[in-house]
Amino acid sequence: MRVPQSWLSEFVDVKLAPEALADRLELTGTAVAAVHRTGETLDKVVVGRIVDKSPHPQADKLWVTLVDVGGTEPIQIVCGAQNFEVSDLVPVALPGAVLPAGMKIKRAKLRGVESAGMNCSAAELGLGSDQDGLLVLPNDAPVGLSFSEYQGLSDITLELEITPNRADCMSMIGVAREVAAVTGVQFNSPTYSLLDEGPSIEDAVDLTVADPSLCPRYAARLVYGVKIGPSPKWLADRLIAVGARPVNNVVDITNYVMFEMGQPLHAFDLATLRGDDGKAQIIVRRATDGELLRTLDGVERHLDSQMLVIADAGQAIALAGVMGGAFTEVSETTVDVLLEAAVFDKDSVSRTSRSLGLLSEASSRFERGVDPTGCVAALDRAASLLQEICGGVVAGGVIDSSPTPPTIRRLELRPKRLCEIVGEEIVIGDMINILEALGLNVEVAQDVLGVDIPPFRPDLEREIDLVEEVLRIWGMDRVTPTLPSGTGRSGGLTRAQSDRERIGATLRAAGLTETMTYIFAEGRDMAIPGCNSVPEDEWVRLMNPMSEEQASLRRHMFPGLLRSVSFNQNRGVPGVHLYEIGTVFSTAVGRQLPREHSMIAGVLNGRWMPKSWHDARVRSSSPKSKPGSSARVDDVLDFFDGKGVIETLLLDLGIETATFTASHYAWLQPGRSAQVITGSDVLGWLGEVHPEVLALYECEGPVVAFELSLDLLLTNAVSVKQYRDVPRFPPVQLDIALIVDNTVAASSVEMAIRESAGRDLHIIELFDVYTGEGVDAGKKSLAYSLTYRSKDRTLTDDEVKAQHERMLRKVEAKVGARLRG
């Protein structure tokens, strides 16, 4: 809502400087988006007349204009606006001009055509918010005159952000009342008089309100014999200042009264209204499904039965509360004007304007709610302006579907309760002063104030609304801050919450960086083998996605992480190690809310660290790349790096029984994928992503990915770990290499060793896996370092030897392992 100070001051004598007024409004609940100053910085902007207009040879939407700016020759200006014709008068910024937004005007070539200035819109001159077209000036504007001189005195306009509850502040009068209340000055209520001496309106117009629930009040006046033309300058200027574009004197007057009083008005050309018996018919009814209406903006609208329309005897002529129709529009040939002032249901207007994508000044007022007692006053004001400006004769009387007298409601405010809610001793006198300044009458009784609510404040419905009014004007800044004094509470995280943070900390210590991805699944995520077979019913579908590409919620987190891998690879990042703790979704027929599962997912790709001068040293001192072994190439992260991260996590959570078993997941590379299991719980999976899936995401492999169920990790986590004796007796260490078939899993060899050795076998460490020269084809050599140690004494070599040999025999029997010679 734009409020020019010159207009505001008709109703309230503001004594504060604009910035001080803006501050005061901010602190009492009316946000001020900007304070605009106009008419001060418009050097080198003059009135010009368009004398020629031709399409730009190189650009579809541009015009090449010749503009007379009072010099000897017209100047050539390239212009992108579409709302002007030859002979129109417009403001022209000449080279050297600096516009209020800071734009400097220079001679330039636009797509190869010389342009010696700019034809301006109202917004470009800081005069309003209309930026869609040129500011076309009244026909009497003198060509060549400085625009500031033409425009008149400078003005200051406050741009206010009115909250949805303050319907009353959508007008100059409403804002003036608010300004008076918050600055403690007098509000000057305007009075208007009207002579309506023409023939009675009853003889010319019939009104039927078919749906009073959506139209509680419909009133109209008729003005005969108006002369259509441009508005006088003062009227046009004010409309421009509040961001509207002047059209003609009749339409401008209806808009003017709306901005001034908050009541939207509409003007129909009486001659276009069909009826019978020589009387025009106005019918307020719901549209029929599929009914068509061409609105003032020239767009053909398809209506439905949820929408309220104004119709004549034939068809819909206006979309109630939203926009008028083109057919009954006031035009140059209009003689008699029917003025409408109505109240429409706010929810209905809101639904209609949103479903058609049509937000208008009128709809934004109806949406908040319009004072039902203000219709006739607005009609009177508009009719008297029509009389004065357009020379019309006002028909006698008003037609009115609901000529109800203003209803004053009474609310009760308990001063003690107010102080209890605010937490501050506000004296009753202050409360009364504030409420009365807002235009509410207050009656003082014992322990309670009776407050009369006028119809222009429909938002005041309950005691709490009055508490808010008093607090915001008394001043939130005056409230002394305290802290809640209540006892019986203790802060903290639940165990699951703190374990979750701990899991994040462990993953970070293991080298993974936390990330955040969208919960929306893209089309290609759903095309991944293994995801593409999920039945349609099990996907959580959005009904109004931003794009068809993001119409479902994810069932897995790794696709989003693969996108990040690709993002990083495209930018040459040498290592990607990311984790996310997030949610995946699934559903089923019959479910209302889907299942939500908390997951931990990660990806590893590339190297842990950038290449370093240490790498060569490390490699030369430990020659690992034996032929045929699985030693990594160039330190590229692989399956075992992922597994190591998960092992570290399980260790920290005290989940000692978890195992990794070779497992098939369609999106993982066969032979490099595993399931993580503890007891009967499948904690999740881990593996190198299938090269075909990587290709979908344009990733270079190998990429290790994992997903673990957070809930299952939390339920299996051991919160209190058991103390175990720290070893006190010396160890005996033996290294062995066992030859087994390639198909024998390392875990089963280790299990065989552990089961076969006595209780003195303390630690088993696998330190080498070898295939190749010296080992038969189809076999592998596993080298273990075994630590024997007794809990209660020093072992002798002979004892260990005996145990060790017994163990080897058993292991041979169990897994076919033979000692490598």
Among residues 793, 792, 769, 766, the alpha carbon closest in space to that of 781 is found at: 769
Cα–Cα dist 588/542, whole Å: 14
Pairing of strands 575-586, 513-514: parallel
Nearer to another protein, 298 or 492 (CB): 492
Inter-residue contact 315 to 290 (CB < 8 Å): no
Inter-residue contact 168 to 456 (CB < 8 Å): yes
Inter-residue contact 451 to 435 (CB < 8 Å): yes
DSSP, collapsed to helix, strand or coil, labels residue 315 as coil
Nearer to another protein, 268 or 579 (CB): 579
Nearer to another protein, 161 or 656 (CB): 161
3-state secondary structure 433-445: HHHHHCCCEEEEE
Minimum distance, C-beta of residue 159 to another protein, in the bound complex (Å): 13
Inter-residue contact 663 to 807 (CB < 8 Å): no
If one counts every other C-beta atom within 10 angstroms of the C-beta of residue 159, the result is 17
Give Dmax (Cα) for the chain.
130
Nearer to another protein, 505 or 695 (CB): 505
3-state secondary structure 41-55: CCCCEEEEEEEEEEE
Nearer to another protein, 219 or 473 (CB): 473
Nearer to another protein, 38 or 352 (CB): 352
Minimum distance, C-beta of residue 354 to another protein, in the bound complex (Å): 5
Backbone angles phi, psi at 505, to 5 degrees: -65, -40
Nearer to another protein, 148 or 605 (CB): 605
Cα–Cα dist 566/693, whole Å: 12
Nearer to another protein, 422 or 736 (CB): 422
Nearer to another protein, 27 or 795 (CB): 27
Among residues 605, 820, 627, the alpha carbon closest in space to that of 700 is found at: 605
Minimum distance, C-beta of residue 50 to another protein, in the bound complex (Å): 37
Nearer to another protein, 16 or 519 (CB): 519
Write the CB contacts of 171 (distance below 8 Å, at least 6 apart in sequence). 258, 259, 260, 261, 262, 263
Minimum distance, C-beta of residue 480 to another protein, in the bound complex (Å): 6
Nearer to another protein, 494 or 680 (CB): 494
Minimum distance, C-beta of residue 31 to another protein, in the bound complex (Å): 7
- Per-residue DSSP letters for 395-440? EES-EES--PPP--EEEEE-HHHHHHHHTS---HHHHHHHHHHTT-
Write the CB contacts of 339 (distance below 8 Å, at least 6 apart in sequence). 220, 221, 222, 223, 254, 265, 266, 267, 379, 382, 383, 386
- Per-residue DSSP letters for 148-197? HHHH-S-EEEEEEE--TT-GGGSSHHHHHHHHHHHHT--B----------
Minimum distance, C-beta of residue 212 to another protein, in the bound complex (Å): 19
Nearer to another protein, 448 or 764 (CB): 448
DSSP, collapsed to helix, strand or coil, labels residue 249 as helix
Minimum distance, C-beta of residue 359 to another protein, in the bound complex (Å): 10
Among residues 298, 398, 256, 285, the alpha carbon closest in space to that of 338 is found at: 398
Q: Which residue has the tokens 């100070």?
A: 5
CA dihedral 356, 170, 270, 272 (to 10 degrees): -20
Minimum distance, C-beta of residue 819 to another protein, in the bound complex (Å): 37
Minimum distance, C-beta of residue 91 to another protein, in the bound complex (Å): 27
Among residues 174, 188, 178, 173, the alpha carbon closest in space to that of 437 is found at: 178
Minimum distance, C-beta of residue 688 to another protein, in the bound complex (Å): 19
Minimum distance, C-beta of residue 136 to another protein, in the bound complex (Å): 33
Minimum distance, C-beta of residue 157 to another protein, in the bound complex (Å): 17
Cα–Cα dist 29/12, whole Å: 19
Nearer to another protein, 23 or 132 (CB): 23
Nearer to another protein, 289 or 420 (CB): 420
Nearer to another protein, 608 or 729 (CB): 608
3-state secondary structure 79-117: ECCCCCCCCCEEEEECCCCECCCCCECCCEEECCEEECC
Nearer to another protein, 203 or 537 (CB): 537
Nearer to another protein, 214 or 280 (CB): 214
Minimum distance, C-beta of residue 402 to another protein, in the bound complex (Å): 22
Pairing of strands 668-678, 681-689: antiparallel
Among residues 560, 550, 552, 518, the alpha carbon closest in space to that of 534 is found at: 552
Inter-residue contact 20 to 182 (CB < 8 Å): no
**724: its two tokens:** 């175990």
Minimum distance, C-beta of residue 115 to another protein, in the bound complex (Å): 31
Minimum distance, C-beta of residue 156 to another protein, in the bound complex (Å): 17
If one counts every other C-beta atom within 10 angstroms of the C-beta of residue 315, the result is 15
Question: Could you give the residue ranges of the DSSP H alpha helices within 571-660?
Answer: 613-621, 639-653
Among residues 263, 189, 190, the alpha carbon closest in space to that of 439 is found at: 189
Nearer to another protein, 192 or 520 (CB): 520
Minimum distance, C-beta of residue 593 to another protein, in the bound complex (Å): 6
| Sign of the torsion angle spanned by Cα atoms 136, 140, 144, 147 | negative
| Sign of the torsion angle spanned by Cα atoms 655, 661, 666, 668 | positive
Minimum distance, C-beta of residue 349 to another protein, in the bound complex (Å): 9
Distance of CA 496 to the CA centre of its chain: 31
Minimum distance, C-beta of residue 29 to another protein, in the bound complex (Å): 3
